[in-house]
Amino acid sequence: MKFEHREIPDGINVTDVHPLKELVVLLSGATILIVALVYILGLSAGFMAPYIPFDTEKRLTASFPVEAPADTAVEHYLQQVTDRVVEVMDLPEEIEVTLHYSDGDTVNAFATLGGNVVVFRGLLQKLPNENALAMLLAHEIAHIKHRDPIVSLTRGVTISAALAVLLGFSDLDLMGEAGVYTMLHFSRTMEQQADSEALQAVYTLYGHTHGASDLFDTISAWHKASGNSEGVEFMQSHPLDQKRIKTLSAQATSKHWPQAGETTPLPQRFIDGLKGQ
Amino acid sequence: MTNLIIFLLLMTLGYLVGQVAEKKHYKSIIQREKRLSGLPTIASRFPPTDRLFDQSLVMGNTVISVDYFKRFIAALRNLLGGRVTSYESLLDRARRESLLRMKQQAEAMGAEYVFNVKYETASISKGRNNAIGSVEVLAYGTALIACGPSDEV
């Protein structure tokens, strides 16, 4: 018997595909998969979460300590405006709004679980008039009315769990970013709807929508002054300032709501109270 | 954002370095395969019986790791399914290199053939999940070294 070396044809054990092409195909496939998954989960969470009774939502927050409201001129006035806003906003019966004033420099306000709205001194000090304050409160109360906090919580928990199962045990945690950016889309929609609802409330209260532009001009000016460039919209939880102002102005125009009018000044004791006097 | 930059940096580095290393390795493999083509390696367990041979165990062992780029592609494959082409060249290189090392050892002994050639492949990332993407390939066989004419049998 004769034994000899036979050459093996080269490359039969390796598929000839360019690695970069493979990367593009796989990456776009995985991105589409994750975006679609997050979108579907996000939609279903948004559909189902509002069926959670408000009482249950309230019980979720019952265990968190909350500062007892002090009886100051500031809180008194805030409560007064809130009551007026709530009245025109047509909230479902079981929902109640609790306002909290926080003596912090943060330029922010937010609505959270259990109908709680928190406003910071930092933002209040920048507001030019009562109309802008009413717009701000109406925006946060609109979040409560739409059940946005519980929807966001449900959405966040569902989507993070799904992504953890899908990507948790691989080197692909980075692909989770595709999911995060998809989730922000829902957040921006919520903001837009809250803006629109708040504009309606401000119009009902004052007969014009001057407060809306005042509020967003204030926020936009602060963003610019603090050097926070807004960046790309798909990476933000809120729509860009200019876009919000434009959308609201378009809404007012289409409904023939006057966009200018006499503004109600903030009472002096409120302004003094914010300064800590 | 920082995450993304680090990721892109590792991907680019992995791709460039990995490609250069792989091309260089293949070039060396092909060259050495040509040089050692006079020494047949045979899977059969039955050596020729016409002559007398000394027998000796010869083996070659290789451990190779993939680059960051290929590991990422393989991880994406885990998600979508299909041929993990990025690992194919890793295993191909490891097997051929091991065989070459075995043949080099046999050549140094003055062997005429290597019979009963076998491969063992092991992943050395056991227990570390995806932290290491490396394989070990061991090739071994029986080197036959001529020691006398056939009429002595």
Asked if the Cβ–Cβ distance from B73 to A23 is below 8 Å, we say yes
- Domains of chain A: which residue ranges? 68-148+178-275
Q: By the 8 A CB rule, do B74 and B39 touch?
A: no
- Among A77, A75, A203, A96, residue whose Cα is nearest residue A141: A96
pLDDT at A221: 86
CA B45 to chain centre: 21
**Residue A192 pLDDT:** 92
Q: Which of A181, A187, A207 is nearest to A35 (CA)?
A: A181
Taking contacts as CB-CB distances below 8 angstroms, the residues of chain A near B39 are 5
Residue B153: pLDDT above 50? no
Interface touch B15/A20, C-beta < 8 Å: yes
Contact state of A13 with B92 under an 8 Å Cβ cutoff:
yes
Taking only the tens place, the pLDDT of each residue in A5-48 is 777 777 788 888 888 999 999 999 989 999 999 999 999 998 99
Q: Which of A20, A23, A34, A235 to mutate: most B Cβ within 10 Å?
A: A23
Name the residue of chain A whose CA is nearest to B48's CA. A1
**Phi, psi for residue A193 in degrees, rounded to 5:** -65, -35
B30 interaction partners in chain A (CB closer than 8 Å): 10
Which of B17, B46, B51, B79 has the highest number of chain A CBs within 10 A, making it the mutation to test binding with A?
Answer: B79
Half-sphere exposure for A121 (CA within 13 Å, toward CB): 13
Cβ–Cβ contacts within 10 Å for residue A185, how many?
Answer: 16
First to last CA, chain B: 76
Are the beta carbons of A170 and B130 separated by less than 8 Å? Answer: yes
CA distance B24 to B19: 9
| A222-256 residue pLDDT tens | 888 887 666 677 778 888 888 888 899 999 999 99
Q: Which distant-in-sequence residues (6+ apart) come within 8 Å of B31 by Cβ? A: none
Helix/strand/coil for B39: coil
Contact state of A3 with B42 under an 8 Å Cβ cutoff: yes
A220 three-state secondary structure: helix
Q: How far does the CA of residue A20 sit from the closest CA of chain B (Å)? A: 9
Q: How far apart are CA A169 and CA B75, in angstroms?
A: 10
Which of A17, A20, A27 has its CB closest to that of B76? Answer: A27
| Average pLDDT value for residue range A165-180 | 77
Share the mean pLDDT of chain A: 87
ipTM of this complex: 0.77
The tokens for A249 are: 């102005």
**Distance from the B136 Cα atom to the nearest Cα atom in chain A, whole angstroms:** 17
Q: Dump the DSSP string for B46-82.
A: ---SSSEEEEEEEEEEEEEE--HHHHHHHHHHHHH-S
Cβ atoms of A85 and A133 closer than 8 Å: no
**Hey, what CATH class is B2-152 in?**
alpha beta
